Structure 1
Amino acid sequence: MIRNYFKIAWRNLWRRRGFTFINITGLSIGMTASFLMLLYVSFELSYDNFHNKMDNIYRVVADIKTPSDNIEANITAWAVPPNLEKDFPEITSAVRINDLNMIVRKGDLKFKETNAIAVDSSFFSVFDFELLQGNPKEVLKKQFSIVLSETTAKKYFGDQNPIGKSLKITEEGFNSTVTGVMKDFPENSHIQADIILSLTTFTQHLDKELDTRWGSYDAAAYILVNPNTNTDQLTAKFPAFLEKHSGEFMKQSKMFVTLNLEPLKSLYLESTRGGTGGGSMTNVYIFSIIAIFILLIASINFINLTTARSVERAKEVGIRKVMGAEKQQLSLQFIGESIITCLIAFFITTLLIIIILPFFNEIAGKVISDGLFSNYSNIFKLFGISLAIGIFAGIYPSIVLSSFKPIQVLKGNFSTGGKGVLLRKSLVIVQFTISIILITGTIIIYNQMEYMRNQELGFNKDRLLILEAESSTSQLSLKNAIDNIPGVKFTSLGSSVPGGGNSSAYSEIENKAGDLQIANLDLYFVDHDYIPQFDLEILAGRAFSKDFASDSTKAMIINEEAVKLLGYSNPKNAIGAKFKQWGREGQVIGVVKNFHFNSLHDNIGPLTMRMETNRNDLISVKLASNNMKQTIAEIEKLWESFLPEQPFDYFFLDDSFNEQYENEERFGNLFLYFASLAILISCLGLLGLAAYSTLQRRREIGIRKVIGASVSEIVNLLSKDFLKLVMIAFAIASPIAWYVMYNWLQDFAFRIDIQWWMFLLSGGSAILIAILTVSFHAVKASLSNPVKSLRTE
């Protein structure tokens, strides 16, 4: 019996090869796209869940209230974590993590390690990063102890055992000892490091007062609490803790701190404080919905094409019922055919995923999966999805087909009825509603990306080469030597460049009322040449000048936002305002026009600029447009001459600034690819329905041609019903698309407005796609010989 079912199923699939091909192709593309997207979603949701104590690990964060603003920091004061561990028995361990950029040397090898951190000795007790060599409790206890990742250990020591060997770190060349080797951090960790330095290096040698600093904010802080600890009750004790240890300091500085806890498991996707690697729960929701949509569209295609062909199989069902077949047997037969179709699609999908996965990892910007077979549960999941689609997509057609009354169908009185037609029309509307939402989303995402690329930034970033010189005493000499290279137009020194991060400083600046207003303000250290090199516009006062010796000690330049913060109605009124900042006192000498010194995700904040030569780590070099490679080679020779102890390290400012939007670019590309696949699957379904509709109306088409109907009239006849459905889909999709994309745009401080023409373009695109899809068969039918179609009746 089962063998007979399979034989009949195969014959039916083969007899209508065109429809079978459309079904299998649509299912294969749909399952491939959906499974890849679900892999991506699963990977994003897996961040940090490999830590066994994940549910008991929290990041300690600070809300800092000043007289001018409220700062939501993702860090705490250096003194907070060790004192929390001492004062609260609920806290088992506390660990601080501070990002480092440091020069590491071994003989002639020298690298600038930008992915390094300094941590407390409890790091490997709190987090479950795997140590390949070394004792987790001991590797970071001593000062100048370092732990290397497996890859970094090979970079410096090859196949030798690195334990106990020395590396020179920082520009000063301190000797450090390798005490451990760790497995490379998993990609789904928001904490990343190639080198870990013991924090005791600072607290016992380089900066012995670090543990007592209640006003210095640099390190991220994590605590491990006892199981079943009520974190709300623990957080409620923090105000008294801060009052006890730093109450007097907060009153004097007028900076009042509130400590909060963020669960480790929510940091990557849900924290709004930054510093967690840039995940987005909104994107996870969007991709999850698209994956479900694509599976839904593929299933709709199957149901539509199967029920549409029900008339052809009516006589088969009637004869089998007369011969004694029961309704249950017929249902199983048709569900079995559905499952066979889906299993064929499963094998094709498996092959497609194996081929596409490396490319998918590339456009996602991370290794979502090493391969389909790297985790055998993936195969079972994919098989389960295929089987589920086969069963659920086959249930309705099986019920319809097995319910035919044999007497009626054998007399030829069978018709599909209004319910079947209504179902197919409803499913087409659902398909194109989803497609129009995706087209609209693609248009809006593309325009937002273009807006960000072309936004007026307020500074010039073209052909700017940035050298990282680590505040060397030779950097000024190097800058002057670079100035003399023919291919160099301009150079300047600074502590930061736009988009490259910046310091913040406790500041007191005279406001409109004549009071010294306290605020924590962003701060750039620059030289005389910085403002003209970046083409920053001075709105009032003047830029720093070599003609005024006091500029290097007593002058400050602020931006427009700082002027607003201080209450001045006109930038000119801020000139001469007194300031105190980091031990320096002086006056505001100029106001610079607002420029985007941070990402376009953030609003432009108040900025201060001062001259302080020993804090300028960066040399900005404006290159001429011709022969840039040769100019860079000449700069490298000078670098080796002036800074032989440092590796030659540089980047272009425009590339660095654009890297801030890599996540959005990747999201946009992934959205575009999968939206295109969803539209393709919709078109396949529409193509199948159009083909079947044409086949069913071939006699009508023949008669119309005989009485003189033109090709365009026949095409219009066959197309108008589908176009009505697309128009209904457009009306449903537009408000949904607006709501979803409006909320997505809220993540950007600078964003486009959603325009009416975007919806018109998406609706027009959907109509054009439908016309082209349906017209293929309509034109073919209108050009066929009417004699043949009439003869077949």
Structure 2
Amino acid sequence: MLKNYFKIAFRNLWRHRVFSFINIMGLTVGMTACLLIFLYVRFELSYDKFHPRADRIYRMVADLRTPSETVYPSGPAWAVGPHLQYDLPEVEAFTRVNYDNLLVRKGDIKFNEDDAIWADSAFFNIFGFPLLKGDPHTALSQPFSIVLSETAAKKYFGKEDPMGKTLLITGEGKPAIVTGVMKDMPENTLIKSDLVLSMNTITRVFEKGIDDEWGNYGALTYVLLKHGSNAQALQKKFPAFLDKWNGTEMKKMQMFPTLLLEPLKDVYLKSTRDGSKGNMMNVYVFSIIAIFILVIACINFINLTTARASERAKEVGIRKVAGAVRGQLARQFIGESVIICLISFLLTLGLSSLLLSSFNELAGKIISTGIFSNIGLLFLLLGIALLIGLLAGIYPAFILSSFKPIMVLKGRFATGAKGSILRKSLVITQFAISTALIIGTIIVYRQMQFMRSRDLGFKKDQVLVVDTNGDNNTQTFQKLVANLPNVKATTLSGSVPGSGHQGAYSEVENVKGDLQIANLDLYFVDFDYIPLYDIKMAAGRPFDRAYKTDSSKAMVLNEAAVKILGYHSPQDAIGKRFKQWGREGQIIGVIKDFHYHSLQSPIKPLTMRIEFNRFGLLSVKVNPTNTQATIAAIEKEFKTVIPNRPFSYYFMDEFFDRQYRSEERFGRLFLDFAVLAIFISCLGLLGLASYSTMQRTREIGIRKVMGASVSNIINLLSKEFLKLVIISFFIAAPIAWYLMNKWLLDFAYRTVISWWVFAGAGILAVLIALITISIQALKAAMANPVKSLRTE
């Protein structure tokens, strides 16, 4: 009997090849998209959850309240970590993590390691980064200790054993001893580095006394709590802890920190601090898209399966006359449906394996090395496939098998209204989802265009930036470059738009005449910075070599800083006093606000000062002709005066635009999966239109004989489906507006959702549906009516 069921199932599949192909491919594409998206979502949710003690690891952050504002540094003061265990027994261990762009040399091998980190000795005890060589308890205990990843060890030492060997670090060439080799850090961690150096090198050698600095904020600090300790209860002890160690200084400086604990597993997606690169809203959006695509694929499968079920009514009648009982018929129909789903599942495995490499590239990270590395997810997808088959087979199994054979064999069987209503409801659902995705795609694209085209307030084109890492010969290098042909202008600075900045304790005269305390962003620049980047002045003047005091007693503010000081006009701030990091002087100018961060962040108060020993970046305005020759000439001068460092440069426009790379990937993924969803919907609509046309073959023949034109026939077959698509638009529009409006809230500067977005999406949905339906309708309208009237 089972063999007979399989034979009939495959015979039916082959007999109706077109419908079988639409059914199987629609479900395969849907499940493939769903599997890839959930691999992505699962990866995003897995960040830093692999650490054995992840449940007890917290990142400490600070809200820093001043009389002007509340700022949110990425970490607390440097002194917090070393003092925690004195008063707070809940803390088992702590480590600070400080990122650095570090020059590392071994003979002729030299690299600027952009992701080097300094960490306290408990680093490898707190985190689950395994050491292949060395002792995790002592690897970072001594100054000038360094732990390399496997990749870094091969880069510097090849096949040699690096343990105990020496590398030269920093521009001064300080010797550091290799005390450990760790496995390469996985992709799904925020703490990503190939070199970990002992923090003792900083605290005991480079910056003695920094462990007692309570006003120096931004040290990324992680704590491991003891078993049974409660993070919320510990947070309540922090105010007393700060008051004990730093109460007098807090009141004097009028800077009051609030210490908070963020669970390590939540930092990547849920933290709003600097260094948190994930986006929980994107995870939600992709999860919804995956569910939507799977729902559309299921609807297609169920629709086409139930629509064709009525064609097998006579087969059911004959089988029942031959003695088949209702249970046997039900098992047959459900079994056939499940077989089709299993075929789709197997095809999904193959298609996903083929597409995984391209999907990793599109996502910008290795989300999975192979689909079989996520067995649990595959079993879940198999379960979904079996459930779809079960649901799709229930209608023919229990409805058709219930009819009396004599009625069916006399031809008195007809599809009921309930089946028609079910199919129409499902078509409305799938096209509502597709229309919502079309609307979402247009809005995502508009936001990307908005970010690309918005006036940033500075010019970034044809500016090349060379990183000298503050080498002693930086100013000599600038003079040589300035004399090169095709070089229009140069400027030295500590920061460029899109890169880091200093957060500086500042006292600036406000509208009341008081020195207002604030923590302001600070750029160290030279005299040519403002004109080279074409930053506009709102009041006063830029730095000028004609004024000798500009290099030591002058400050330039942006408009955002002027506002927090209470001035109604930028001109009112000119000549006001300031104190900042041991410097005192007057405000000489106010620049117009410019976006020195991405458009996801609002423009913050910014100050600029000249301080020559803080320069590490040379910005070069170049002529666009023969750019490669200009770069080669700059590199030659670099190697002449700064021979111990590798030549490193980037173009300002490319560097600044990297901030939007994750949003661009999101937009591309959103577009690709939206197109897939629309394609699957069209497959289903094509199948239903084909079935509807076949059911009305004789009617079409009679209408043509009676004089109906091709356009009349197309209109007859199309209008019913177009009504469903229009209804789906009115369902989709408000849902899409709500979801995309929430997504846009993540951007400080965002596009407006215009009415034409919905109108355009509605028209596009109707056109897509009309084209899909017309393919089959035109074929039916052009058919010979004589053949149509002969159809049984």
Aligned length: 792
Matched residue, 2:30: 30
Deviation at 1:218, TM superposition (A): 2.9
Give the letter for the 2:357 counterpart. P
Matched residue, 1:86: 86
Residue 472 of structure 1 aligns to a residue whose secondary structure is coil
Separation in structure 1 between the aligned mates of residue 51 and residue 680 of structure 2, nearest angstrom: 40
- String of CA shifts for 1:596-649, please: whole Å, max 9, x gaps: 011111111111000001001100001101000000000000000110111101
Residue 218 of structure 2 aligns to a residue whose secondary structure is strand
TM-score (norm 1): 0.99
Give the letter for the 1:425 counterpart. K
Give the letter for the 2:68 counterpart. S
Separation in structure 2 between the aligned mates of residue 399 and residue 626 of structure 1, nearest angstrom: 76
Q: Is contact 1:491–1:529 with CA below 8 Å preserved after alignment?
A: yes
Q: Is contact 2:305–2:392 with CA below 8 Å preserved after alignment?
A: no
Q: Is contact 1:51–1:127 with CA below 8 Å preserved after alignment?
A: yes
Separation in structure 1 between the aligned mates of residue 762 and residue 158 of structure 2, nearest angstrom: 60
Separation in structure 2 between the aligned mates of residue 402 and residue 81 of structure 1, nearest angstrom: 73
Question: Is the aligned partner of 1:675 residue 2:681?
Answer: no
Q: Please give the residue correspondences for 1:564-575 in structure 2 after superposition, counting only pairs within 5 Å.
A: 564-575=563-574
Give the letter for the 1:29 counterpart. V
Deviation at 1:530, TM superposition (A): 0.5
Give the letter for the 2:264 counterpart. L
Matched residue, 2:57: 57
Give the letter for the 1:301 counterpart. N
Matched residue, 2:419: 420
Give structure 1 stretches of 5+ with no counterpart. none
Structure 1 stretch 472-481 or stretch 691-700: which is displaced more?
472-481
Separation in structure 1 between the aligned mates of residue 429 and residue 396 of structure 2, nearest angstrom: 18
Q: Is contact 1:303–1:396 with CA below 8 Å preserved after alignment?
A: no
Deviation at 1:565, TM superposition (A): 1.1
Give the letter for the 1:33 counterpart. A
Separation in structure 1 between the aligned mates of residue 402 and residue 282 of structure 2, nearest angstrom: 44
Separation in structure 1 between the aligned mates of residue 727 and residue 431 of structure 2, nearest angstrom: 9
Q: Is contact 1:307–1:400 with CA below 8 Å preserved after alignment?
A: no
Matched residue, 1:499: 498
Separation in structure 2 between the aligned mates of residue 299 and residue 130 of structure 1, nearest angstrom: 44
Separation in structure 2 between the aligned mates of residue 376 and residue 114 of structure 1, nearest angstrom: 36
Deviation at 1:538, TM superposition (A): 1.1
Matched residue, 2:547: 548
Matched residue, 1:524: 523
Deviation at 1:379, TM superposition (A): 4.5
Separation in structure 1 between the aligned mates of residue 21 and residue 576 of structure 2, nearest angstrom: 77
* RMSD of equivalent CA atoms: 1.1
Matched residue, 1:236: 236
Percent of residue pairs identical: 59
Matched residue, 1:392: 391
Matched residue, 2:168: 168
Q: Is contact 2:466–2:650 with CA below 8 Å preserved after alignment?
A: yes
Deviation at 1:376, TM superposition (A): 4.5
Separation in structure 1 between the aligned mates of residue 279 and residue 374 of structure 2, nearest angstrom: 25
- String of CA shifts for 1:357-404, please: whole Å, max 9, x gaps: 100000000001112234544544443333333223333343333233
Question: Is the aligned partner of 1:621 residue 2:637?
Answer: no
Matched residue, 2:737: 738
Q: Is contact 1:303–1:397 with CA below 8 Å preserved after alignment?
A: no
Deviation at 1:314, TM superposition (A): 0.6
- String of CA shifts for 1:580-602, please: whole Å, max 9, x gaps: 00000000000111100111111
Q: Please give the residue correspondences for 1:121-140 in structure 2 after superposition, counting only pairs within 5 Å.
A: 121-140=121-140
Separation in structure 2 between the aligned mates of residue 498 and residue 558 of structure 1, nearest angstrom: 15
Separation in structure 2 between the aligned mates of residue 402 and residue 180 of structure 1, nearest angstrom: 72
Matched residue, 2:101: 101
Give the letter for the 1:89 counterpart. P
Q: Is contact 1:310–1:416 with CA below 8 Å preserved after alignment?
A: no
Q: Please give the residue correspondences for 1:559-708 in structure 2 after superposition, counting only pairs within 5 Å.
A: 559-708=558-707
Separation in structure 2 between the aligned mates of residue 396 and residue 606 of structure 1, nearest angstrom: 65
Separation in structure 2 between the aligned mates of residue 487 and residue 345 of structure 1, nearest angstrom: 61
Deviation at 1:309, TM superposition (A): 1.0
Matched residue, 2:728: 729
Deviation at 1:286, TM superposition (A): 1.1
Give the letter for the 2:64 counterpart. I
Separation in structure 1 between the aligned mates of residue 397 and residue 630 of structure 2, nearest angstrom: 73
Give the letter for the 2:503 counterpart. S
Structure 1 stretch 380-389 or stretch 19-28: which is displaced more?
380-389
Matched residue, 2:113: 113
Q: Is contact 2:477–2:637 with CA below 8 Å preserved after alignment?
A: yes
Matched residue, 2:152: 152
- String of CA shifts for 1:478-507, please: whole Å, max 9, x gaps: 101101111111100011011112111000
- String of CA shifts for 1:445-490, please: whole Å, max 9, x gaps: 0000000011100000001100111122211111011011111111
Deviation at 1:683, TM superposition (A): 0.2
- String of CA shifts for 1:565-590, please: whole Å, max 9, x gaps: 11111111110010000000000000
Give the letter for the 1:130 counterpart. P
Deviation at 1:339, TM superposition (A): 1.2
Separation in structure 2 between the aligned mates of residue 378 and residue 240 of structure 1, nearest angstrom: 48
Separation in structure 1 between the aligned mates of residue 296 and residue 324 of structure 2, nearest angstrom: 33
Separation in structure 2 between the aligned mates of residue 417 and residue 596 of structure 1, nearest angstrom: 63
Return closer, same or farther for 1:396/1:213 CA change in 2, 3 Å cut-off. Answer: farther
Q: Is contact 2:697–2:791 with CA below 8 Å preserved after alignment?
A: no
Deviation at 1:324, TM superposition (A): 2.3
Separation in structure 2 between the aligned mates of residue 565 and residue 214 of structure 1, nearest angstrom: 25
Q: Is contact 2:504–2:519 with CA below 8 Å preserved after alignment?
A: yes
Residue 3 of structure 2 aligns to a residue whose secondary structure is helix
Separation in structure 1 between the aligned mates of residue 228 and residue 331 of structure 2, nearest angstrom: 51
Structure 1 stretch 196-205 or stretch 402-411: which is displaced more?
402-411
Deviation at 1:99, TM superposition (A): 0.7
Deviation at 1:323, TM superposition (A): 2.2
Separation in structure 2 between the aligned mates of residue 391 and residue 108 of structure 1, nearest angstrom: 67
Residue 792 of structure 1 aligns to a residue whose secondary structure is coil
Q: Please give the residue correspondences for 1:744-763 in structure 2 after superposition, counting only pairs within 5 Å.
A: 744-763=743-762
Separation in structure 2 between the aligned mates of residue 366 and residue 400 of structure 1, nearest angstrom: 49
Separation in structure 1 between the aligned mates of residue 163 and residue 733 of structure 2, nearest angstrom: 62
Matched residue, 1:469: 468
Residue 76 of structure 1 aligns to a residue whose secondary structure is coil
Residue 177 of structure 1 aligns to a residue whose secondary structure is strand
Matched residue, 1:250: 250
- String of CA shifts for 1:34-81, please: whole Å, max 9, x gaps: 100011111111111111111111111111100000112220111101
Residue 304 of structure 1 aligns to a residue whose secondary structure is helix
TM-score (norm 2): 0.99
Residue 608 of structure 1 aligns to a residue whose secondary structure is strand
Separation in structure 2 between the aligned mates of residue 654 and residue 112 of structure 1, nearest angstrom: 22
Residue 73 of structure 1 aligns to a residue whose secondary structure is coil
Q: Is contact 2:313–2:400 with CA below 8 Å preserved after alignment?
A: yes
Matched residue, 1:280: 279
